Structure formats: C-alpha cells, structure tokens
Structure 1
C-alpha cells in the first residue's frame, strides 16, 4: 500500500467519523476540531508503517501542532452554536441544508485537502533523508510558526476575557502589533517548516514536487479562509483604518509610527 493511499484513508476515516458526530450534534463546525487531527492521524500512521527517525520526528511535530490546535478550537467553541461561515457555505443551518451537501462541501472537501497538503509528509515516508541540516532548519521554521500560533492565540484569548466596555476597541499589542493575523502567519510557517524538514531535506526534486502544498496553505489562510475573510468583519471596528495603516496584514514587522 502506498503512502498516498494510506494518507487519504486516514484523512477519510477522521472526517467520516467527525461527520457522524456532527450529524448527532447537528453542528457542522465540529469539523474545525478534526482538521488538525486529520494530519495527526496521517503522520502517525505513516510513521508506524514506514518507521525511521525522520518519519517519527515529523510525526512528533505534527502531533504537537495538530493536537494543540484541536484542543484550542474545541475549548474555544464549547457552548457555541453553528459557525456562520458554514451556514453561508451550505445555504442553510447545518444538516438541514441536506446531508449530501454537507458531506461533499465540508467533510469530503477537508479530507481531500488534508490529503493533498500532507504531501511533504507522504514523500518523507518513501525516501531517505539527504540533508539532515535542512531537517533542523525546517524544525526551526516550524517552531517559529508554533510560537506565533500559541502566543497569538493566548494574547487574543486574554484580550477577549476583558470586559467589552473597558477593553481597547482593537487588539494592537504583543504579536498583534506586529501582524494583524499572527496566528494565521504561524499556521503558514508551520507548513513551510514541515515542507523543509519533510520534503526539501530529501533532495531538490522531492522539494520542488511538493512545494505547492505549503504555498497553497499560505494562499488560503492569507487570502481565502483566514485573514482576508476575518478582516471583512474586523474592518468595521472603530480605529481599524489607523491600525491597518501601521500593522501589516500577515508577515510580521515592527509597526509603523
């Protein structure tokens, strides 16, 4: 059995199981918790079937990132109803829009995307490492990404915990003073780190054949499902224009005066 087939089956099982849970809860947004867990399943199964230090290192990185992300989203969404994004996507509230529509547009789509984006991890199961120093460069980039995700999420959570009447209109301190979306930047950095450590370290050809995976993730979290989508509502806040003028959208840098 090929690594690609194993990865697709792992993603399909995770998303299929989540679809069953979602149907019972009548809440499509639980798929957000399964997103990170799909990659955890893929990396662990690949490491078990093709065990070597490289595969287990990648599995450890993915488990740390994906497990933390799933826990964070599950805790953040506890007690909340359906996510308006999915109501808009499906043209109705949850499963009432039709089981076929929900499964194909949400769960099957996310299974396919997880399978495609995990290409650098799949390639790493099939080839030996050529450049170990490159692996550690990738680990360093991954660590930077995790830092921005974890710290950015913690700072946002602390901001939201303040009374709405007294807290600033816009969070512009900490990492949020360097990037308007530090957590999304961190997510993109994680995938560039996994690509460097997982595929580029195997050689130029595996790296070039899979570079589209982190590039696609960066494009989507920046321009489609992440930063740009969130800014449609955030830009309505008082003081947003001044904040956006001094703080970059995505890649961090010191804020302008």
Structure 2
C-alpha cells in the first residue's frame, strides 16, 4: 500500500501525530544547525539557514505523504520559537520591557493561529485545494513548484516579516516608548480580529445554504477580514522594529509589504475566483463589500 493510500485511512489524531513528528524533526534539524553547526558570525543569517533547513525537512514529509498541507502550520509555529531563541541570544543592553511586549504579541498570535489550524484540519486525507492546483499548472516542474512556491517562498516571506522582531529583540535599541504601546495594541487587536473573523465563518459554515456567500459581521465590512488581521499582525511587528530602531525606517516595513503583495497578488485572487465559481451570490458580495480594507458595505441599487 502506498503512502498516499495510507493517508486516506488515517484519523485526524493519527494525522496530527505524523505532522507533529515532522515538526519535531524539522525543529531538531534547525536547532542542531544553530547550536552545533558552523557559525556565520551573523545571527540573522544563521537563523535563516536553520529556517530553510527545517523547511526542507517539512518538504520531505510533504512529498513522502503526497500532501503539502504538512507545511500549513509552519507559518505560525516557527516565529515564536525564533523570538525566544533571539531573546536568549540578545545582549544585556536589549530593552527587556519591549521584548516582553513583543513576545506576548507573537505567542498570542502563534497559539491562536496554530490552534485554529488544528481545529480546522480534518486529517491527511485532505490537502489545501490551492496546492494541487499549483502543481497541476506546473506540469513537469511540479516538484520544483512544490518546493519553491509552497514551501520555500512562504518561509522567506515570513522570515522577512520577522526581521523587525529580530531588531526589536536583539539590537542595542532605544528604550521602551509610546510606539511600542501602539504596536502592542495593534498586534493584540490583529489577533482578536482574526479570531473573531474565523469564529464568525465557522458559525456561518455550520448553517449556510448551498451556494450562500458570507456577508455578515466582519465579513460585511471586508471580504477577507482574516487576511486583514494577519496583515495587521505583521504591521505590529514592523512598528516594534521602528520603535526600537528608527534609523531603519527605510526597510522596516519591507516584510509587511511582501505580505500585502502575497495577499493581493495570490491568496485573495485565488479565493475570489473559487468563491465566484462555487457561490452564485458572491458576485453581489463583491459589488457591495470591499476586498480587504474595511468600510461600510455599499447598497446596490435595484436593477443595477
């Protein structure tokens, strides 16, 4: 029996166990590089290499089980671990108050997002619908697209988004200021926004009629409030970095811009096309509700 056939028989618990084993192996490889591997003399570069090595481990499991959803939780599992690692490597002059604030935000976000993934994950018989689509479009290059497009590129995007966190945690930075408090409020608010949006969607999905589109609550102000919350979280990390090192203003929001580009250029268009194909009412939602940044929904004139 092939691995692909085996995954069809796995329960959710058995599937989560295999994903957990993959992550323990990946984190073990990353830790081995950081604590026993060659030193590049740049903590951020050591961390990036460790991140990519861990990603390759997850990619190996994805290929072995023919399911790239092994990677899904990597997005939220790795940042808090790097945050703690960077904290342990920080010099004594790093502002501890800022570090505690940013750690609270990162761990709140990570625990919430990972728990949401565990709750929604049905098992290894299921794979995010976007991954087979990307592989099919790639033809003979499907393995390369799987490696780069589904695994490595997201890892690089998340690492880029984490660089302001790196600055805030490890650098000889300014003392805690008002912008740190703004960043903390923005970060906590972002997680709460994502949380509320996901809960509203789950409740809607449990009672919706076939073809019905979601346009209630937060989803009546933005077609993708969950993505808006995710983007806002990365804005909060950038604000922490800016407060810690204002001289780095010229690059500190690059990670946030990369996240916005991913949402606007890939994630949202794919979701929109799928919704338009599967839900006839969604075209009306598009006409009334803004795509990402919220505002009161428009009223469509009768006969328009």
Q: TM-score, normalised by structure 2?
A: 0.74
CA RMSD in angstroms comes to 2.4
Asked if 1:47 is matched to 2:47, the reply is no
Higher mean Cα deviation, 30-39 or 185-194?
Answer: 30-39
Unaligned runs of 5+ in 2: 1-40, 300-304
Q: CA deviation at 1:104?
A: 3.6
Offset from partner CA, 1:123-157 (integer Å, 9 cap, x none): 22223135511001011111221122100011111
Match of residue 115 from structure 1: 159
Match of residue 21 from structure 1: 61
Shift in alpha-carbon separation, 1:92–1:256, aligned structure 2, 3 A: closer
Offset from partner CA, 1:105-136 (integer Å, 9 cap, x none): 43232332222221111222223135511001
Q: SS of 1:224's equivalent?
A: helix
Matches within 5 A, 1:178-257: 178-197=221-240, 199-221=241-263, 223-236=264-277, 237-257=279-299
Give the Cα separation in 2 of the matches to 1:161 and 1:215: 35
Give the Cα separation in 1 of the matches to 2:174 and 2:46: 21
Unaligned runs of 5+ in 1: none
Q: CA deviation at 1:203?
A: 3.7
Shift in alpha-carbon separation, 1:192–1:75, aligned structure 2, 3 A: same
Offset from partner CA, 1:20-41 (integer Å, 9 cap, x none): 4324432111211111112122
Match of residue 190 from structure 2: 145
Shift in alpha-carbon separation, 1:58–1:16, aligned structure 2, 3 A: farther
Give the number of the structure whose alpha-carbon radius of gyration is greater.
2
Q: TM-score, normalised by structure 1?
A: 0.86
Q: CA deviation at 1:164?
A: 3.7
Give the Cα separation in 2 of the matches to 1:235 and 1:66: 31
Instruction: Report the count of equivalent residues.
Output: 250
Give the Cα separation in 1 of the matches to 2:295 and 2:267: 19
Higher mean Cα deviation, 230-239 or 47-56?
Answer: 47-56
Q: CA deviation at 1:207?
A: 2.7
Matches within 5 A, 1:118-129: 118-124=162-168, 125-129=170-174
Offset from partner CA, 1:34-62 (integer Å, 9 cap, x none): 11112122212111211633233322211
